[in-house]
Copies of this chain bind each other. A is one copy, B any other.
Amino acid sequence: MKKILVLGSEGYIGYALCQHLVNKKYQVLGIDNQSRQKKVEEIGSDSLIPLEGRPINWAFKEGDVRDFALISEVLKDMQPDVIVHLAEQPSAPYSMIDVNKAVETQSNNVVGTLTLLWAMRLFCPSATLVKLAAMGEFGDWIYEKAKIPESNRITVFYDGYQIEIPTPHFSNSFYHWSKIFDTGNIEFACRLWGLKAIDIMQGSVYGQIGWTRFDYDEYFGTVINRFVTQAIARLPLTIYGRGGQTRGYLPLKDSIQCLELVIKHLPQKDEYIVVNQFEGLYSINQLANLVKEVGDKFKLDVQINSIENPRVEKEEHDYNVEHKKLLEWGYKPTTDMKAELRKMFKILLSHKGRIRPAVIMPKTKWR
């Protein structure tokens, strides 16, 4: 079976992915520097799923992707077929707290990916990099009604000529800019050194599988996970602004399914490939209403509040995204979001006592 190196194996997606790949008999090595857990503790929160006693059923090494000597050694020894790179600071609001967090985010993410690319070039140039990027790289306004492509190039008419340009990216946080910067470096390295990479523009992930961590705080809790936690804690779901902000979403189990499909459909030649990875597009208002509907079945009498938007973003906009590759590769989307939400409520209600309400409301303002 393929050898998979997972960088960031202790994160929300990383742990669930390693468990899934090991169950499917892949040979897995996980690397992590515990940065997620440290950051969550630093902002006064903790995983809602208790992590004490959690097993690690795969080879594991403590380490940092920015450590070139370590990564080089691992690549030389293991010669992985695939390197799944999840070892990034994943939070937009965290990157907006202050100068230190902004610098930490961009330097961790950009330097980590750049270091990995050099190590791949030198020690395993035929491996495929599977990099978790973000749909946030497309911004909220550039494309208007036009289709966001699943490609690194678009053809446009400009100044009287038909030209092919790099797919436009644009962002509203220093975190998302770091993802855009990574995309620039990765595509350049593929073009320059003949590496293979799949850059996954992933929507926001929600849900719970097995013993993976579950964050619900302002910074590391994605919106649906925060809403479900608020409902369980009998706090109103907080919509930032008007709630028309639309993005792609997918349950964690779909993210894992898609990552395995990507691993099964590696490039045959030196290539940089973009994959848009999501189940469906939803506005914040739609999500809040779905969580309310399911939460009310659990007799939680869910309230929805709109608060002043701490972010800078469009609150009403079009959003039209190409979504072909994963479906062609066999992705079966979980279209029943309510069933997913019901599962979440069932699992998380038993940890209700661990919720720290103080970490949920946004304290970091973009301006």
Contacts and interface: CB of A to CB of B under 8 A. Distances in A.
11 contacts: A98-B118, A99-B115, A102-B118, A107-B107, A107-B110, A110-B110, A142-B166, A165-B168, A177-B188, A191-B312, A192-B366
A180 B184 contact: yes
What is the oligomeric copy number?
2
A353 interface: no
Interface of A: 68, 98-100, 102-103, 106-107, 110-111, 114-115, 118-119, 142-147, 154-161, 163-166, 168-172, 174, 177, 180-181, 184-185, 188, 191-193, 312, 366-367
Contact of A166 (B119, B154, B170): B170
Contact of A168 (B161, B168, B188): B168
A103 B99 contact: no
Contacts of A366: 192
Contact of A312 (B115, B118, B164, B192): B192
A3 to B, nearest CB: 23
A111 B107 CA distance: 7
Contacts of A156: 156-158, 165
Nearest to A116: B99
A180 B114 CA distance: 15
